[in-house]
Amino acid sequence: MKRVMILNGPNLNMLGIREPHIYGTTTLAEVNAGCEEAAAKLGLKLAFHQSNHEGVLVDLIQSARQDADAIVINPAGLSFTSVSIMDAIKTFEGPVLEVHISNIHARDEYHRHSKISFVASGVICGLGPSGYLLAMRSVAEAMPTAASSGAQPTTLHSGQRAA
């Protein structure tokens, strides 16, 4: 079973409360429950982490080398500032899917230019919490489980990074 680390950055523990006109009213616990439900169908094993601290996120991304086959990350406000998270992601060889609940491209100048997008396999934004589910689906399709047909992808999938 493929292991997916789901990482959420600063202030996402406040989902459902913070700026609901931007991020909606769904809590992080509810987002995670939806991910678990989807994971059961997709044949993925999930590990959830949320931190408000850059170094903790860097440590988790480094640990993913041993603990995960793919990463789904919402780096939140650190998307726009963190060279350290960007560099940590470069050390991870599997797919890394960047998710934003809001459409960062339609927001103010502070929230438009993600450094993480330079190193992510794919980016999903503006689709609300569904973005996490779509990212997981991409991971599942890019990395067939033993229970699937056994066919290997022959073309570069959105969940794979170019060399």
User: Which positions are catalytic?
Assistant: 23, 100
Pick 86 or 143: Cβ nearer ligand DHK: 86
81: DSSP letter: T
Q: How far apart are CA 162 and CA 139, in angstroms?
A: 15
Q: How far apart are CA 72 and CA 95, in angstroms?
A: 8
Q: How far is the CB of 88 from ligand DHK (least distance, A)?
A: 18
String marking each residue 40-79 x if it binds ligand DHK according to CB under 6 A: ----------------------------------x-xx-x
**Long-range contacts formed by 151-160: CB under 8 A, 24+ apart:** 158/121, 158/122, 159/70, 159/95, 159/97, 159/121, 159/122, 160/95, 160/121
Q: Identify the burial level of 6 via C-beta atoms within 10 angstroms of its C-beta, where 0-12 means exposed, 13-18 middle and 19 or more buried.
A: buried
Binding-site size, ligand DHK (CB under 6 A): 10
Q: How far is the CB of 111 from ligand DHK (least distance, A)?
A: 4
Pick 12 or 143: Cβ nearer ligand DHK: 12
Pick 69 or 102: Cβ nearer ligand DHK: 102
Among 31, 57, 61, 104, binds ligand DHK (CB under 6 A): 104
For position 120 contacting ligand DHK by CB under 6 A, the verdict is no
Q: How far apart are CA 114 and CA 7, in angstroms?
A: 16
Q: How far apart are CA 129 and CA 131, in angstroms?
A: 5
Q: How far is the CB of 126 from ligand DHK (least distance, A)?
A: 8
| Structure token pair of residue 79 | 């998307």
Among 50, 82, 102, 138, binds ligand DHK (CB under 6 A): 102
Q: List interacting residues with ligand DHK (CB under 6 A).
A: 11, 74, 76-77, 79, 100-102, 104, 111
